[in-house]
């Protein structure tokens, strides 16, 4: 079994959108397909803000991952956020998540990031175990995250 990760290119956007739709459906999150296409295209075109990888079994796309990069006052330098790490259900528990996470962590080190974080649902025990296995520690400070959008989704990345 050969599982590999490679940087996504513009031609991958349709399969990335398809998998993002599957990923969001697992949590009953709505997904605007136009917005997701534009978001993938923007990040593929400019890796300053992050990188997208396609995870393949042989030559078959089975997942994807997204790293976003920002400057962090808390960590005193560039930090990463694993925005998405999705493996199709038929290929879970076979090493694809490890491949995706190792690729992400290697990229963080290559970019000189000082920290990386990821969010997961409280019921997603396999993801929690994967992250802990690779040294990501669960926060215990009970922070809440608040968000304000400055544009509506239709204006993003036109």
- Helix 13-26 × helix 33-45 angle, to 10°: 130
SS3 category, 98: helix
Task: Quote the pLDDT of residue 1.
Answer: 67
Number of domains the chain contains:
1
Helix (H) or strand (E) holding 35: helix 33-45
Q: What is the pLDDT of residue 150?
A: 77
d(CA 81, CA 95): 21
Query: Any idea how long the chain is?
Result: 158
In the block, residue with structure tokens 């330098």:
77
> Is the CA virtual torsion 34, 150, 81, 23 positive or negative?
negative
Which pLDDT score is estimated for 22? 97
Does residue 116 sit in helix, strand or coil?
strand
Domain assignment of residue 128, given as a range: 3-155
What is the pLDDT, as a whole number, of residue 155? 53
Find the CATH number of the domain harbouring 73: 3.40.630.30
pTM for the model:
0.89
Report in angstroms the alpha-carbon separations of 153 from 45, 59, 67, 119, 143.
Answer: 19, 33, 20, 22, 26
pLDDT along the chain (158 residues), means of 10: 94 98 93 95 96 97 98 94 96 95 96 94 89 87 73 55
């Amino acid at each position: 079994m050969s599982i590999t990760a490679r940087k996504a290119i513009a031609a991958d956007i349709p399969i990335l959108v398809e998998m993002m739709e599957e990923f969001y459906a697992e949590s009953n999150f709505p997904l605007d397909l136009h917005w997701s296409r534009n978001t993938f295209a923007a990040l593929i075109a400019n890796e300053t803000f992050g990188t997208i990888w396609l995870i393949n079994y042989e030559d078959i796309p089975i997942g994807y991952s997204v790293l976003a990069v920002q400057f962090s006052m808390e960590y005193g330098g560039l930090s990463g956020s694993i925005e998405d790490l999705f493996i199709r259900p038929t290929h879970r528990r076979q090493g694809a998540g490890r491949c995706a996470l190792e690729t992400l962590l290697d990229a963080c080190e290559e970019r000189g990031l000082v920290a990386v974080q990821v969010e997961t649902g409280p019921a997603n025990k396999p993801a929690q175990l994967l992250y802990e296995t690779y040294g990501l520690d669960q926060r215990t400070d009970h922070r809440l995250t608040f968000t304000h959008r400055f544009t509506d989704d239709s204006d993003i990345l036109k």
